[in-house]
Chain A
Amino acid sequence: MTLKILEDRLSSIAFKGKEARSRVSCGKNSVSGAVSQRACVFCGARVVLNPITDAFHLVHGPIGCASYTWDIRGSLSSGSQLYRHSFSTDLKEKDVVFGGAEKLEAAVREIVEKYQPPLIFIYSTCLVGVIGDDVEAVCRKAESQYGIRVINVKAPGFAGHKAMGYRLASEAIMKLISREPEVPKEKFGVNILGDYNLAGEAWIIGNYLKEIGVPVVTTFTGDSTCASLRRSLGALLNVVQCAGSMMYLAKGMEESFDIPFIKASFFGLADTKSALLKIADLIGSKEVRRKAAILCHRETEKAQRELSPYLPKLKGKKAAIFVGGGFKAISLMRQFEELGMETVLVGTQTGTSEDYEVIASLASKGTVILDDANPSELESFMRQKGADILVGGVKERPLAYKLGIAFCDHNHERKIPLSGFTGAVNFTKEINLSINSPVWAHLRKKPSLGIWS
């Protein structure tokens, strides 16, 4: 089947090396009628805030949005498990007609009576955006009545795409932390932005930093609590890991509270090492720098030792990348290079034009670069390029498998930590496991004895 591409989509696809179209247009709304892999504003806000473990995440709207986002993100908690429950107002027809504010008030009251929480986020979904409940008023009233923080996350799905939701989540966090009185600075303390502690990844990075004498004040938002977020202004530096979701917060904290930020990636050996050394440099302590150098040397050696047996099995294999943010895509390209693999396709849901410039600079000739791809485009380009493995999220997994292409989940459903030195080894093992699984042999070597009709 030859691929048909909608005219409106053409500018979102580029081929490295063909000058006329090496720039990707991005950040546009999805085309009506396209089978997009992209999620909505609410989804963006929810995935960023949900890992705050002791907050109540109350979805104000009909049941669907609460149902689909219940306990789906493998963000681990070292304390409260409250964030894994689903709380919603489950709006009905009568609420649509008469307004849902009263029900929302009742829900907040019931939460406060039962759990005395420090913090409630109210996510207003599409329907609420249309029926016009005054959620702000409910929040104000509840805050004064109960003495807790109740923050409205106004996230109707139609207000843009997922990246807009990231921004709203950042605004909600700013609302929370900006009301904090003077927070004392913590010696060498940093915040990690954009790590959601999937499979315990934030703990791995936290341990590296602890070893070099840099305490993590809080992570935004993996395994964070209302209290840890409130202490975040005690950090000297913000380390932004997932820039797609957290740039807005990083910039806001720099402007309002003079906390500078750096972008850093902890995916892959090279990126992890340079991130740790960069943080040590900025902290400016000789001792920290010395410890960082020792740790990086030790861990890099150890990791290389562990992953070297896999390299011959992966050499020359072709990888396709389709992930949420541009920054992660860039890191993955570097990681595949470390493994001796070639990246033949790179796509993101929400990458920015700066991300795509970096991607283009890293890509080899002929690499396909595309923004907000749909399954047909992914399929067609993966086949055309002969990809051996796809790195993506849940919707891409069955697509890859159906094509007989290996798959690695680098999204919410990953069960094994993929960040840091340890993660680089895990990632290599995952890639090997999928690419070299014996199951592919059955597909490729179907006996051709004329027994199949």
Chain B
Amino acid sequence: MLDQTPKELIKRDGLRINPLKTCQPVGALYAALGVKKCMPHSHGSQGCVSYHRTFLTRHFKEPAIASSSSFTEGASVFGGGANLRSSVKNIFDLYDPDIIAVHTTCLSETIGDDLNSYILEMEIPDDKLVVHCNTPSYVGSHIHGYANMVAGFIKYLADKNAPKNEKLGFFPGFVNPGDLREYKRLLELMGVEFIMLPDQTGVMDSPMTGVYEMFPKGGTTIEEIRALGGVKEALAMGDFASTEPALVLKSKCGVETKVLPLPFGVEGTDKFLMELSRISGNPVPKVLEEERGRLIDLMLDANPYFYAKRCSIFGDPDTVLGILSLALELGMKPIHLITGTPGELFERKAKEILAAYGLEGEGRVKSSGDLFELHQWIKNDGSDLLIGTSYGKQIAKAEDLPFVRAGFPVLDRYGHAYEPLLGYQGGLILAKRIADTIMDRMDRDVLDEDLEVVM
């Protein structure tokens, strides 16, 4: 369907075509769903939250709960304070969450609603909490919204006077519940006690029981967020999604924090485990060493099929950088790396990773890009494989490219949110997805007489 994309690259000043990002509030909503008994609340028109819930539901195949201030004309002229006050009252009366996490929208930001003072001045039941963060849709992307909401919880709740504990503060980044489960498994295997914020397991991958829970069992508890102020140190995974919460925790509570890339592939996971080993003083257990060995085994077994494959990777910045590392380890040659999220850091990091594999100055790398541009690159340079979100399927079809789904969102396949892409196990899953896709294509394209049962 995208065959209308012209090959010739033209500079665009006003037009965004086929975006590779969405707005901050949806990220904030996802973050807030990772706090126990929390109602995410969108301070804006009711359409916003309807879209965000739908978008998350389409990816996770789960209900995504959130309320809205439902702005009217009046609110957008006189301010949304009254709407927020009645929202908070109604939400506690009706749905009885422990905490409401408010995020703003382009509308409430532009009319200048001051959420700080609204929340300070409003009546909140004694045992209940209201927190907020600013998520103007015209700045950054959903990744920034996610980071801002996590930081918002810390600003309001992390207690710098909390009793010191031996735990690790852990910010997982914008990843799927499957990845969060993998993180937890690795942390437990390494003997690291932790507080993870946010934690959408049990919420956005809740099991089928025949009972609908508006607030499912999962999520970081308020007590845990308070105790973040007393942790030994904190690890923040992903420069784009987790730096902001790390900075806020450090400045508010004086906690030492370290930012790491998402642990994709062998080296990424090695680094992550070494960090956990340093923190816990425990060696890496045999079971993980064996997992590492199995991943390398698969990489070796299938290496002729990966080797020198020119691939195009797109999606959210932390995820693209992670997949880039794994792709390079597999022996592939990434030629296109693009994210819609703004931030020159993405280009710098991607180029560093490429340079480490002797690909200095090669390929096209861009932040603040869009899929139209990626499609144009592919028309000009060709590509052997496309890796990214569901929105790549149109390009894949137009250019007849093999296509591997990874990242957020995957709207057109099931079960993706359950499967980790992180750690050695996630590496196995992603490497297998890539190999299967490349080899299925070979089987499809090969002449009948060349079709091989053994490959």
B17 contact from A30, A69, A86, Cβ within 8 A: A86
Q: Is A29 an interface residue, CB under 8 A from the partner? A: yes
Bound complex: CA A129 to CA B110 (Å)? 10
CB of B17 within 8 A of CB of A85, answer: yes
- The interface stretch among A36-44, A241-249, A306-314, A339-347 is A36-44
CB of A32 within 8 A of CB of B16, answer: no
Which chain A residue shows the least CB distance to B12?
A: A110
CB of A4 within 8 A of CB of B93, answer: yes
Which chain B residue shows the least CB distance to A131?
A: B110
CB of B63 within 8 A of CB of A107, answer: no
Bound complex: CA A34 to CA B111 (Å)? 22
- The interface stretch among B82-90, B185-193, B265-273 is B82-90
Query: For window 349-406 of chain B, which residues contact chain A by CB distance below 8 Å?
Result: 372, 391, 394
Which chain A residue shows the least CB distance to B52?
A: A68
Residues of B within 8 A of A443 (CB): 208, 210
- The interface stretch among A59-67, A214-222, A269-277, A361-369 is A59-67
- Please give the distance in Å from B204's CB to the nearest CB on chain A: 10
Residues of A within 8 A of B211 (CB): 402-403
Query: For window 1-30 of chain B, which residues contact chain A by CB distance below 8 Å?
Result: 1-4, 6, 10, 12-19, 21-23, 25-26
Bound complex: CA A68 to CA B67 (Å)? 18
Residues of B within 8 A of A329 (CB): none
Q: Is A401 an interface residue, CB under 8 A from the partner? A: yes
Q: Is A176 an interface residue, CB under 8 A from the partner? A: no
CB of B45 within 8 A of CB of A40, answer: yes
**Highest count of chain A CB atoms <10 Å: which of B4, B10, B54:** B54
Q: Is B73 an interface residue, CB under 8 A from the partner? A: yes
B interface footprint on A141-164 (CB within 8 Å = 1, 0 otherwise): 000000000000000111111100
- Please give the distance in Å from B331's CB to the nearest CB on chain A: 34
Q: Is A93 an interface residue, CB under 8 A from the partner? A: yes
- Please give the distance in Å from A447's CB to the nearest CB on chain B: 15
Q: Is B280 an interface residue, CB under 8 A from the partner? A: no
Q: Is B303 an interface residue, CB under 8 A from the partner? A: no
Residues of B within 8 A of A32 (CB): 68-70, 83-84, 86-87, 90
The tally of residues in B whose CB lies under 8 Å from a CB in A reads 80
Bound complex: CA A369 to CA B138 (Å)? 40
A interface footprint on B265-300 (CB within 8 Å = 1, 0 otherwise): 000000000000000000000000000000000000
Residues of A within 8 A of B110 (CB): 96, 127, 130-131
- Please give the distance in Å from B152's CB to the nearest CB on chain A: 19
Q: Is B94 an interface residue, CB under 8 A from the partner? A: yes
- Please give the distance in Å from A166's CB to the nearest CB on chain B: 13
Q: Is B148 an interface residue, CB under 8 A from the partner? A: no
Residues of A within 8 A of B94 (CB): 4-6, 33-34, 376
- Please give the distance in Å from B396's CB to the nearest CB on chain A: 14
Q: Is B91 an interface residue, CB under 8 A from the partner? A: yes
CB of A394 within 8 A of CB of B54, answer: yes
With contact pairs A157-B45, A375-B214, A395-B54 given, residues A29 and B138 touching in the complex (Cβ less than 8 Å): no
A interface footprint on B84-104 (CB within 8 Å = 1, 0 otherwise): 101111110111000000000
- The interface stretch among A11-19, A98-106, A195-203, A427-435 is A98-106
CB of A126 within 8 A of CB of B65, answer: no
Q: Is B51 an interface residue, CB under 8 A from the partner? A: yes
Q: Is B47 an interface residue, CB under 8 A from the partner? A: yes
CB of A87 within 8 A of CB of B16, answer: yes
CB of A158 within 8 A of CB of B1, answer: no
CB of A39 within 8 A of CB of B18, answer: no
CB of B55 within 8 A of CB of A126, answer: no
CB of B15 within 8 A of CB of A398, answer: no
- Please give the distance in Å from B64's CB to the nearest CB on chain A: 8
Q: Is A257 an interface residue, CB under 8 A from the partner? A: no
CB of A67 within 8 A of CB of B90, answer: no
Interface residues on A, range: 35 or more
Q: Is A81 an interface residue, CB under 8 A from the partner? A: yes
With contact pairs A110-B13, A394-B57, A404-B210 given, residues A90 and B136 touching in the complex (Cβ less than 8 Å): no
A93 contact from B12, B44, B46, B139, Cβ within 8 A: B139
CB of B68 within 8 A of CB of A104, answer: no
Q: Is B141 an interface residue, CB under 8 A from the partner? A: yes
With contact pairs A30-B70, A127-B110, A375-B63 given, residues A88 and B51 touching in the complex (Cβ less than 8 Å): no
Residues of A within 8 A of B63 (CB): 375, 395, 398-399, 402
Q: Is B61 an interface residue, CB under 8 A from the partner? A: yes
- Please give the distance in Å from B264's CB to the nearest CB on chain A: 25
Residues of B within 8 A of A6 (CB): 90, 93-94
Residues of A within 8 A of B26 (CB): 64
A126 contact from B4, B10, B58, B105, Cβ within 8 A: B105
CB of A36 within 8 A of CB of B46, answer: yes
CB of B57 within 8 A of CB of A397, answer: yes
Residues of B within 8 A of A295 (CB): none
Bound complex: CA A50 to CA B102 (Å)? 31
- Please give the distance in Å from B30's CB to the nearest CB on chain A: 14
CB of B14 within 8 A of CB of A34, answer: no
A interface footprint on B198-232 (CB within 8 Å = 1, 0 otherwise): 00000000101111111000000000000000000
- Please give the distance in Å from A72's CB to the nearest CB on chain B: 8
A87 contact from B15, B70, B95, B394, Cβ within 8 A: B15
Residues of A within 8 A of B14 (CB): 89, 102-110
Q: Is A315 an interface residue, CB under 8 A from the partner? A: no
Besides A62-B106, A87-B17, 7 other CB < 8 A contacts?
A: A4-B94, A32-B84, A36-B46, A65-B47, A68-B54, A110-B14, A156-B107
Interface residues in chain B, defined as those with a beta carbon under 8 Å from any beta carbon in chain A: 1-4, 6, 10, 12-19, 21-23, 25-26, 41, 44-48, 50-55, 57-58, 61-63, 65-73, 75-76, 83-84, 86-91, 93-95, 105-107, 110-111, 136-139, 141, 206, 208-214, 340, 372, 391, 394
Can you show 7 pairs from A to B with CB atoms below 8 A apart? A84-B1, A110-B10, A110-B14, A115-B4, A126-B71, A126-B76, A375-B65
Closest 5 CB pairs of A and B: A40-B47, A106-B14, A64-B23, A157-B45, A33-B90
